[in-house]
Amino acid sequence: MLANNNLKIAMAMKTETRAQSDYGTFVEQVSNGQVQRVTIQPNNRIEYQLKPAFGAKRYYTQATAPSAEVSMLLRKHQVSFTDLASNATAASLIGLLLSAGALAGAAWFAKSSGPGGMRGIMGTGKSKARTYNPSGSRARAKEKAIVTFADVAGVDEAKQELKEVVDFLKDGEKYRKIGAKMPKGVLLVGPPGTGKTLLAKAVAGEAGVPFLNVAASEFVEMYVGVGASRVRDLFNRAKKQAPCIVFIDELDAIGKSRGNGMAGGGNDEREQTLNQLLTEMDGFDGNAGVILIAATNRPEILDPALKRPGRFDRQVLVDRPDRSGRLQILQVHSKKVLMGEDVD
């Protein structure tokens, strides 16, 4: 029974209506100090309550004056009020400003994208390749920053095969005189952690040329066309720094065989990136001094177009080291470690 009574009281309070009053009467009541609190609603509606000494009655009226003028009247007679009309106007202005800012940002993004691909905010279409220059002033000042074949152990066969690449980068004219051409792409194949990236960096260090290092997964983003744009940017950077080495790690991230994607083009972005890579490899001359080296531990899933002659037509196995190779690795890592004379 008590719960029902409370519910009835709550419903009565909710459905309580205010008596209508004339605006002139409202102004007179304010001037006479009869009004306790006022709420200025949008559309010039005024809701107010009288002081307890005058019955604490609630009224509403329609103002014939601007809300700013009503506010001045209330401040003059020190009446507590809430101006919801001004708050609503401010919120509307803020909403309009935010909408205008969003439209301006979208227009700027579209303009900066340009016809050459999505080059939006913060260089979306730019390659994320990191440059390592062993011939730079910073490397010369700090010789230990240069990686050479002496820093790579346990892969003697792979180093022997890559010495031809180093020799070409050092003296390419010798090969051109006899009409020889270097392979455009060298694919390093082997299990994870066998030193493929370090070996590629050592080639650059031995030849003294810039080394552009990028992971294949960094080409592909959620935006269609970004991967292809980053591939173009990478090769443009390489041509400007030739002779140099471009190293793409985990090539299988973009080099998987085409035609195995989801129905409806679920892998369109990856395939567009791969197509652009194939196009760029066809477009530059191996004698220009740009050598493309890539690494993967899953060569069996690569697209056949990547491994055909004129692209990654040379594969170098970087396998797990044998016993003597592991001893060489320990010797490399122990050069900077102070050991006792009795250490085996």
Helix or strand run (H / E) with residue 296: strand 290-296
Structural domains in the chain, CATH included, are 2-86 (3.30.720.210), 130-333 (3.40.50.300)
How far, in Å, are 31, 65, 93 from residue 41 at the CA level?
A: 20, 13, 17
**Contacts (Cβ under 8 Å, ≥6 apart) of 240:** none
Query: pTM value?
Result: 0.58
Tokens for 281, please give them: 């490899």
Per-residue pLDDT of the chain (344 residues; tens, 9 = 90+): 444 554 444 444 444 467 888 888 889 999 888 998 898 887 778 899 898 888 888 988 888 777 788 888 888 888 888 877 666 555 566 666 777 767 776 665 555 544 444 444 445 567 676 777 766 544 443 444 688 888 888 888 888 888 888 888 887 778 778 877 777 789 999 998 888 888 988 888 888 888 888 888 888 766 667 888 888 888 888 888 888 889 998 998 888 887 655 444 446 778 888 888 888 888 665 556 788 899 999 888 898 888 888 888 788 999 898 898 899 888 888 888 888 888 87
Q: Is residue 169 within 8 Å of 209, Cβ to Cβ?
A: yes
Cβ count near 51 (within 10 Å):
14
Q: How far apart are CA 246 and CA 249, in angstroms?
A: 10
Instruction: State whether the Cα torsion 27-32-35-38 is positive or negative.
Output: positive
Instruction: State whether the Cα torsion 200-206-207-212 is positive or negative.
Output: positive
